[in-house]
Amino acid sequence: MAVTTRLKQAKQWILSGDFLYNGRLAILLWFGLPIFSIVRTLIVDNRINNFLIFRGVFYHAVSNLNLYNAYPQEYGDVNLYGPIFSIVIAPFALLPVKLGFIFWSLFNAWILYYAIRKLPIQKQWQNAVLIFSCNEMLNNTAWSQINPFILALLILGFVYAEKGKNGWALLFILLATFIKLYGIVGFAFYFFNEKKWSFIVWAVVWSVVLFLLPMIIAGPYFATHSYVDWYNGVVEKAAKNIRMDIHNDLQDISVMGMIKRIFNLPNFKTIWVLFFAAVMFAFQFLHVAYYKDLRFKLYILCSVCIAVVIFNTSSESPTYIIAFPMVCVWYLMQTPTKINNALFIFALLLTCYSYSDIFTPYVRTHIVRPYSLKALPCFVIWIILSLQLYTKQFLQVDLARKRKNKSALNDAV
């Protein structure tokens, strides 16, 4: 009898959707899937090339070897992270390779989990963001990527900027920027910060500190020249990303890449899309009177994190861990309707799972990847989000809206 009751409760738990807001399940999936990926990587395919690149940044900096050259005897591809990354990766690089890989992967999962838990939204929503985004976290762990760390820095920058703690806010924003240049989008939080002079001062202070910090292990001349090398490396990579003649459909998974590939426009000028995005982004800040409204601030956070991926020619599939959790936050702020639900399911399937076995190999290799369709749902949602900001629809958001639990199995964790 007890078993039958529990089975009925479990069925109701799943069918009601309560499991999507469950704290224990969120923790299990968020950390369990990366751990599974780590074990599989070490036992099955030993695919840790990206971590070897990261590790090499530290040792090359210490040895004063160009951080952006190719080192085919050590790893494939090249480093494209700023010189400060040599300091960030140091604790993991000093460990034995496999142990360093394990701790680096777990650190990325933990730091983004911590950042999401700091978001000023109710805990049930945080649970849902973690559950919906767990496949993107798995994808990043499988490729030893740094993207979860970058998103965590942007979220923490937002959280502390919103609280007026600019010292911490600018540390996180500028650390993201000095690692990956697109972290500079975090400066959008300046507009709703009440201590603007403090924001500027801390921006200068942390810029100087982070610029100088690599000199501790690499020396002044090498560290300074590495910024020039970094610029050259990024420019070279950007030029390669937009080329269609090399059939590299793993790069430029962006709005620009989507347009070029769908309409077969190899010489399409990305500047037109970037101009459109800049104008749309500027319009989001028209309503100055609402700069103190938390709903407005959360919309801007979502907009920033989605835009920095979909309008970036360097975006790859794992980069969408930066965008998709913010798609989830946007969705959770919406009034539950069939249209909103359908739009989110569209994003969940095409953005989050289009590279998984949910889609057939033919669909993945002949439709989704060749046309950069992973970017499409995020682009549609970003347009809607922008219009909602312009029309002040964000004022309808109820951040305290509670979801009625329909299952006895759901908890309040």
**Interval 60-99: pLDDT, tens:** 999 999 999 999 999 999 999 999 999 999 999 999 999 9
- Structural domain boundaries in the chain: 244-396
103-139 confidence digits (pLDDT tens): 999 999 999 999 999 999 999 999 999 999 999 999 9
* Residue 293 token pair: 């409204």
pLDDT value of residue 348? 97
3-state DSSP assignment of residue 235: helix
The residue length of the chain stands at 413
Between CA 89 and CA 215 the distance in angstroms is: 15
Between CA 326 and CA 297 the distance in angstroms is: 12
pLDDT above 50 (res 40): yes
The CA–CA distances, whole Å, from 320 to 70, 123, 348, 354, 398 equal 26, 23, 11, 12, 27
pLDDT value of residue 356? 87
pLDDT value of residue 246? 62
* Residue 151 token pair: 């998103």
pLDDT value of residue 219? 96
Mean pLDDT on 149-178: 97
Amino acid at 81: Y
| The 3-state secondary structure of 261-320, one letter per residue | HHCCCCCCCHHHHHHHHHHHHHHCCCCHHHCCCHHHHHHHHHHHHHHHHHCCCCCCHHHH
pLDDT above 80 (res 373): yes
Between CA 50 and CA 42 the distance in angstroms is: 14
Mean pLDDT on 130-150: 96
DSSP state for residue 355 in the 8-state scheme: T
Among residues 281, 291, 299, which one has the least CA distance to residue 388?
A: 299
Mean pLDDT on 367-393: 96
1-19 confidence digits (pLDDT tens): 566 666 565 666 665 678 8
3-state DSSP assignment of residue 67: coil
pLDDT value of residue 45? 80
Mean pLDDT on 229-248: 83
Block residue for tokens 């990956």: 180
pLDDT range class, residue 47, cuts 50, 70, 90: confident
Phi/psi region, residue 335 (left: phi>0; alpha: psi -120 to 50; beta: rest), is: beta
pLDDT value of residue 411? 47
192-210 confidence digits (pLDDT tens): 999 999 999 999 999 999 9
Return the beta strands (E) in 44-105 as ranges.
none
| Radius of gyration of the chain measured on its C-alpha atoms | 22
pLDDT value of residue 412? 43
Between CA 394 and CA 398 the distance in angstroms is: 9
- Are 371 and 258 in contact by the 8 Å Cβ rule? The answer is yes
Mean pLDDT on 22-30: 97
Between CA 61 and CA 57 the distance in angstroms is: 6
pLDDT value of residue 249? 74
pLDDT above 90 (res 162): yes
pLDDT above 70 (res 408): no
* Residue 222 token pair: 């090498």
280-336 confidence digits (pLDDT tens): 999 999 999 999 999 999 999 999 999 999 999 999 999 999 999 999 999 999 999
Across all residues in the chain, what is the average pLDDT? Answer: 93
Mean pLDDT on 370-377: 96
| The 3-state secondary structure of 5-52, one letter per residue | HHHHHHHHHHHCCHHHHCHHHHHHHHHHHHHHHHHHHHHHHCCCHHHH
The helix, strand and coil proportions of the chain, stated in percent and rounded to the nearest 5, come to 70, 0, 30
pLDDT above 60 (res 150): yes
pLDDT value of residue 406? 56
- How many other CB atoms are there within 10 angstroms of residue 183's CB atom? 22
pLDDT > 70: percent of the chain: 92
